[in-house]
Amino acid sequence: MHRIEVSIKEGMVDAAGEGLARDAHDLGVTTISAVRVAEVYLLDGTLTGDALEKVCRLLADPVTQEYRAGAALQPASGKVHVVEVAYNAGVVDPVEESVLKAIRDLGIQGVRAVKTAKQYVITGQLDRRQMEMVCSRLLVNPIIQHAVEGGHYGFAGGPQYVFHLEQVDLDDVPRRFGLSASEYQAVRDYFQRLGRKPTDVEMETLAQTWSEHCVHKTFKARIRFDGETIDNLLKSTIMKATRELDRPWCLSVFADNAGVIDFDGRWALAFKVETHNHPSALEPYGGAATGIGGVVRDPMGTGLGARPILNTDVFCFGPPVYPHDKLPPGVLHPRRVFKGVRAGVADYANRLGIPTVNGAVLFDERYLANPLVYCGTLGILPAHLAQRGQQRPGDLVVLAGGRTGRDGIHGVTFASEQLTEASTGTAYTSVQIGNPIVEKKLIDVLLQARDRGLYSRITDCGGGGLSSAVGEMGADTGVRVDLDKVPLKYAGLSYAEIWISESQERMVLAVPPEHIEELLKLFAAEDVEATVIGQFTDDKKLRLYYQDNLVGDLDMEFLHDGLPQLELEATWQQPAHAEPDFDEPPQLGAALLEVLGSWNVCSKEWVIRQYDHEVQGGSVLKPLVGRDNDGPGDAAIIRPVLDSDRGIIVANGICPGYGDIDPYWMAASAIDEALRQVIAVGGDLRRVALLDNFCWGNTSRPDVLGALVRAATACHDMSLAYGAPFISGKDSLYNEFQYEGKTISIPHTLLISAVAVMEDVNRAVSMDFKQPGDLIYIVGATRPELGGSEYFRTRGLTGNSVPKVDPQQARELMERLGQATAARLVSACHDCSDGGIGVAVAEMAFAGGLGAVIRLADVPLAETISRNDFILFSESNSRFIAAVSLEHRVEFERTLSGVSFAVIGEVVDSQMLEIYGLGGGRLAAVSIAELKEAWQRPLRW
């Protein structure tokens, strides 16, 4: 074995090291004077001196780096501490493949394997406790890594697997596979009818296919909700609205891996948002990376395959300033989770070349141990390929992309369970490091195969692995799979592990025999592995073989329809929160600065800049807008077909704070917010489709399930009222954490994602004020609705007056405003949401580099409000702040006639925001520089 150390030359900047020193400082370790990071390469093989020299010159940059070959791990000494961090056995090193390729390109053979490690040389006066803290909180995540002791690395592969058929005693089934009583009953009856025991792989298949994650049995359950009975919540709410709306431009809804709408008759759009919460809690980088990798494969696995053209990400974390010593056992600090998730998503999405155009980051203490990581991908495909494909009996099952390892085994059942302090110990197989280049190569070649018509059906291999992918594909024909044909990352996997592995970057194709040769040739030409692992049949059976032994034999009918419907109890009562009683502040400047600087409102530029939001060249309205490219844009607009003026608007709405009062109005508000953003950038409601994404607590609790019913009901009502159909969705339940007998449940969280088709992107409107003299309008009426608002939150209050929605009025208003922007009457428009009028006007002012004067007395109220702070910070829905030049005033007001609006001020070039109150007195005069600084400071990391 050769060990090569590549370090940055003395005197050269070590950016990674400096970043670590800063992070250590955040931990209170202030005595570190320098951190240097070195790459360590371990080559399994023997090389001549000359070959080794060549390899070293390959691995080290001649200008910035130097290398030491054959050097042993250098020992710590005095003020110099050395830590070397390597991957655990079973974690596939993401760099290995490229390094091996490059070495072979040099004509050097005889290197069997490569491992990499990182060496941290930390200089400074640190005691043992401090070093351990730096290691455990910054350098090593035991789930995938370990600190190398005494230079022991070892390339020992996994043990060889020797086939033996494992049968399961029916009595052991409940304990081993966590089935409910009625599910166990169904399994027992089935196998007693067959007169035999189930095999392990049959039970794994059933457990996975019947898991919450795969089959969404809670949403399909029979629910008794305060007297009434709901038979299948999904069908009777969200899908019902879509059926009733029956839009002709909805090409494929709730039928495939993503929902599909028509774009321009020639092209169609496939949109999906998923969550990857539990893995991200344990290994933020890998968990989030595989989250984005997984959702990108959804549009790829929709219809006959869509090319991913944008991502949208929404994260929910604990407060970044949470005290370390208060963390529950086994829980990573929210700052580390945030940084890891951001890096994981960025590294994967940037490498795939998919722009991250839109998103949000929210904070609440209840996300501490159970962060939420929503990743969404929109893809484009020819409209005539939008329908799910259909294989014929005789078509071959082809597994393409990455190899199969122990990755993510039981990830699905894990995703459907609660986290506990023990999860960190047990979940290591559920987390892996993705390899985005393998997925990029797969996408590139799949699109060529699609356009040549080489396969009849495609699906992604995600949660549940082959078990879900092939099991679902074969449902209406039958399929046989030879598990020993599946290419493995390393030896030692049993047939059952191969079947349920959730290794990333894999897709499954149905290929007609006459095309198989051309398809395999095409994949080989770009070094993408593709393997025939089975064949579709006509016997409606799932038959699994290993080395010609039959190891699984299930009827598709039982596998897919044998799951007994859940019977659940639900109830809901509006909780009574303390009604805030604090005096109205005489001046509002300080309050405005405080709300602007709150975690939820403050600038997310630190995150956005580290995503590529320009790649693919379609960017029309960016996440950061305004004079200095740093204002908070509403929705994003992209041009998916570069020689067309037609565009896509992508927006999201999420307001968990309102759920603590009433999940119905939380869901209604989220939908209104997503649609507001579409309107704010110049869109209209003619072709808007929605996705739902529920992240909930433990729905076996009637009150938690009742909250879910309330939210789903609102989705139905609002979808109909706005004429915006849901086209796909997802739910992640049991998001709670238990420790020391305590339970933290996340706030009920519903993400609404909207995609709208825009006729002409040249009509786009950004939120920044454009010119002094423009009139500032508020469109939409204000109510005393501060329950769950950011203003109350800054005072540690919740309240009860949750913002409601009047969808009839809101729709009228949005349609009128859409006409006004289409007629180019609006110079700036901003969604009025978190922080109300105060935050919206402040953001428009500093984004435009212009001042503003507003008068609260002119704000149209639907109910009396006697307090200035309540008018300024109310979060009533369906409101916009719009700037209109004097020349367009008459036309604008004519277009909006019939809806509630008023001029509340003017844009001025004073660089000051001035707010005048009900009595006419001046309540605030703050420079836009000060407002912007308050808004940017918190996340300037």
Partner 1 sequence: MTQVRTLILRGPGTNCDAETAFAFEQAGAAVATVHVNQLIRHEARLGDHQIMVIPGGFTYGDDIGAGKVLANELSVKLKEDISRFIESGGLILGICNGFQVLVKAGILPEPGNGFQSRVTLTTNDSGRFECRWIHLAANNDSPCVFTRGIERMYLPVAHGEGKLATSAGTAAGLNVVLRYADEQGDVGAGYPHNPNGSVDNIAGICDSTGRIFALMPHPERHIRGTQHPQWTRLGVKERGDGFQIFLNAVQWARGL
Binding to partner 1 by residue 231, rule CB under 8 A? no
Spatial contact of 772 and 850, defined as CB atoms under 8 Å apart: yes
The yes or no reply on residue 611 touching partner 1 (CB under 8 A) is: yes
CB of 758: closest distance to partner 1 in angstroms? 12
DSSP string, 43-59: EEE---HHHHHHHHHHH
**Residue 231 or 614: which CB sits closer to partner 1?**
614
Is residue 89 at the binding interface for partner 1, with CB under 8 A as the rule? no
> Total residues at the site for partner 1 (CB under 8 A)?
66
Q: Which of 2, 276, 333, 888 is catalytic?
A: 276
Residue 686 near partner 1 by CB under 8 A: no
Which amino acid is present at 545? Y
Decide if residue 639 touches partner 1 (CB under 8 A): yes
Mask for 438-467, x = binds partner 1 (CB under 8 A): --xx--x-----------------------
String of contacts with partner 1 for each residue 562-601, x by CB under 8 A = ----------------------------------------
| 525 lines the binding site for partner 1 (CB under 8 A) | yes
The CA distance from 261 to 48, in Å, is 60
518 forms part of the interface with partner 1 (CB under 8 A) = no
Neighbours of 606 (CB within 10 A): 17
Binding residues for partner 1 restricted to 840-869, rule: CB under 8 A: 848
- Identify whether the C-beta of residue 37 lies closer than 8 Å to the C-beta of residue 17: yes
Q: 96 or 166, CB closer to partner 1?
A: 96
213 is an active site residue: yes
Q: Give the H/E segment covering residue 42.
A: strand 32-45
Check binding of 101 to partner 1 (CB under 8 A).
yes
- Report the nearest approach of partner 1 to the CB of residue 505 (Å): 12
On the CB side of 904, CA atoms within 13 Å amount to 32
Q: Which residues contact 267 (CB under 8 A, 6 or more apart)?
A: 380, 381, 382, 383, 640, 641
> In the complex, what is the shortest distance from the CB of residue 16 to partner 1, in angstroms, rounded to a whole number?
6
**Which of 25, 146, 152, 213 is labelled catalytic?**
213
| 50 scored as a contact of partner 1 (CB under 8 A) | no
716 binds partner 1 (CB under 8 A): no
On whether the CB atoms of residues 16 and 37 are closer than 8 A, the answer is: yes
Contact 767, 843 (CB under 8 A): yes
CB 746 within 8 A of CB 373: no
Task: Answer yes or no whether residue 730 interacts with partner 1 by CB under 8 A.
Answer: no
CB closer to partner 1, 63 vs 576:
63
Residue 642 as a binder of partner 1 (CB under 8 A): the answer is: yes
**Minimum separation from the CB atom of position 907 to partner 1 (A):** 13
Which of 49, 50, 75, 105 is close enough to bind partner 1 by CB under 8 A?
Answer: 105
Contacting residue, 200, 673, 768, 831, with partner 1 by CB under 8 A: 768
Shorter beta-carbon distance to partner 1: residue 356 or 798: 356
Q: Is 400 in the site for partner 1 (CB under 8 A)?
A: no
Q: Which is nearer to partner 1, 102 or 327 (CB)?
A: 102
Token pair recorded at residue 319: 């407060």
Residue 716 is a catalytic residue: no
Q: Contact between 99 and partner 1 (CB under 8 A)? A: yes
- Contact 38/119 with Cβ under 8 angstroms? yes
* Contact mark string toward partner 1, 324..353, x via CB under 8 A: ----------------------x---xxxx
Give 119 or 277: the residue with its C-beta nearer to partner 1: 119
Binding status of residue 63 toward partner 1 by CB under 8 A:
yes
- The answer to whether 537 touches 477, Cβ cutoff 8 Å, is yes
Query: Does residue 714 sit in helix, strand or coil?
Result: helix
C-alpha 352/C-alpha 853 separation (Å) is 45
Q: What is the DSSP string of 729-786?
A: EEEE---EEEETTEEEEPPPEEEEEEEEEES-GGG---SS--STTPEEEEES-B-S--
Helix (H, G, I), strand (E, B) or coil at 670: helix
Distance CA 418, CA 400 (A): 33
Residue with token string 């014929």: 392
Query: Ramachandran region of residue 41, left (φ > 0), alpha (ψ -120 to 50) or beta?
Result: beta
The dihedral region occupied by 463, where left means phi > 0, alpha psi between -120 and 50, and beta the remainder, is beta
State the Cα–Cα distance between residues 67 and 38, nearest whole angstrom. Answer: 9
Nearer to partner 1, 103 or 415 (CB): 103
Q: Which is nearer to partner 1, 301 or 623 (CB)?
A: 623
Point out which span in 471-479, 734-742, 760-768, 877-885 binds partner 1 (CB under 8 A). Answer: 760-768
Stretch touching partner 1 by CB under 8 A, among 225-233, 317-325, 765-773, 862-870: 765-773
| Chain centroid offset of residue 680 CA | 24
Contact between 823 and partner 1 per CB under 8 A? no
Distances from the Cα of 45 to the Cα of 2, 52, 153, 160, 203, angstroms:
7, 11, 14, 21, 42
Residue 59 binds to partner 1 (criterion: CB under 8 A): yes
Rounded Cα–Cα distance for residues 641 and 782 (Å): 40
Pair 306, 299: CB distance under 8 Å: yes
Residue 875 C-beta: closest distance to partner 1, Å: 26
Q: Which is nearer to partner 1, 120 or 791 (CB)?
A: 120
Q: Does 62 bind partner 1 (CB under 8 A)?
A: yes
Q: Using the rule CB under 8 A, is 107 a contact of partner 1?
A: yes
Alpha-carbon Rg for the chain, nearest whole angstrom, is 29
CB of 486 to partner 1, least distance (A): 22
Of the candidate residues 700, 743, 762, 808, the single one contacting partner 1 (CB under 8 A): 762
Name the minimum Å distance from CB 41 to partner 1. 9
- Measured CA to CA, the distance from residue 271 to residue 672 in angstroms comes to 19
Residues 6+ apart with CB under 8 A from 493: 158, 161, 404, 405, 406, 501
Which residues, 6+ apart, have CB-to-CB distance to 746 below 8 Å?
316, 364, 366, 367, 370, 372, 695, 696, 697, 735, 736
Judged by CB under 8 A, does residue 506 bind partner 1?
Answer: no
From the CB of 824, what's the least distance to partner 1, in Å? 11
DSSP classification of residue 327: S
Give the shortest CB-350-to-partner 1 separation in angstroms. Answer: 6
Count of CA atoms in the C-beta half-sphere (13 A) of 642 = 5
Q: Which of 78, 323, 617, 919 binds partner 1 (CB under 8 A)?
A: 617
Out of 710, 770, 793, 879, point to the residue binding partner 1 (CB under 8 A): 770
764 near partner 1, rule: CB under 8 A: yes
Taking the complex as a whole, the smallest distance from the CB of residue 904 to partner 1 amounts, in Å, to 22
Closest CA to 441 of 517, 522, 377, 368: 522
User: Which listed range, 264-272, 483-491, 520-528, 733-741, lies at the site for partner 1 (CB under 8 A)?
Assistant: 520-528
Choose, by CB under 8 A, the member of 15, 194, 491, 890 that binds partner 1.
15
503 near partner 1, judged by CB under 8 A: no
Q: Is 246 in the site for partner 1 (CB under 8 A)?
A: no
CA distance 408 to 416: 13
The one segment of 97-105, 147-155, 157-165, 912-920 that binds partner 1 by CB under 8 A: 97-105
- Which residue numbers are catalytic? 213, 276
List interacting residues with partner 1 (CB under 8 A).
12-13, 15-16, 18-19, 57-59, 61-64, 94-95, 98-99, 101-102, 105-107, 346, 350-353, 435-437, 440-441, 444, 525-527, 608-617, 619-622, 624-627, 629, 639, 642-643, 761-762, 764-766, 768, 770, 848
